[in-house]
Amino acid sequence: MGKFEIKSSGTDKCMFNLKAGNGQVILTSQTYASKDGCKNGIESVRKNSQDDGQFERKTAKDGSPFFTLNATNGQVIGKSEMYSSTDAMENGIASVKKNAPDAEVVDNS
């Protein structure tokens, strides 16, 4: 089962990673000014991860595929790692869809 891990990021700021059941990070959030904002971001991932249209498939300058997960207002909620292939990226998206809805929240901040 996946989990969201909240961690500190600078002075009074935090961010989260969504990890798959194997412990691999599958989505990394932006930095939030407050823990409440971070928790709202987690809820937004839970909601928006179930709509394939909220995933934006992209290509880095070096040709590596990656994706972002966007909120309904277009704001980026989280970003993936760089993948070696489009198939690997699609597997990453599938993992976010599978793990986000029921992932526990672990606060390590």
CATH number for 3-107 (one of 1.20.190.20, 2.30.29.80, 2.60.40.10, 1.20.1250.20): it is 2.30.29.80
- Residues 37-87 have pLDDT tens digits of 999 999 999 999 999 999 999 999 999 999 999 999 999 999 999 999 999
Q: Which among 109, 70, 92 is positioned nearest to 2, based on CA atoms?
A: 92
Strand partners, 105: 4
Residues 92, 12: Cα–Cα separation, whole Å: 30
Residue with tokens 């972002």: 68
CA angle centred on 84, ends 86 and 2, rounded to 5°: 80
pTM equals 0.92
Q: Residue 10 pLDDT > 80, yes or no?
A: no
Any idea where the domains of the chain sit in the sequence? 3-107
How far, in Å, CA of 15 to CA of 89, rounded? 22
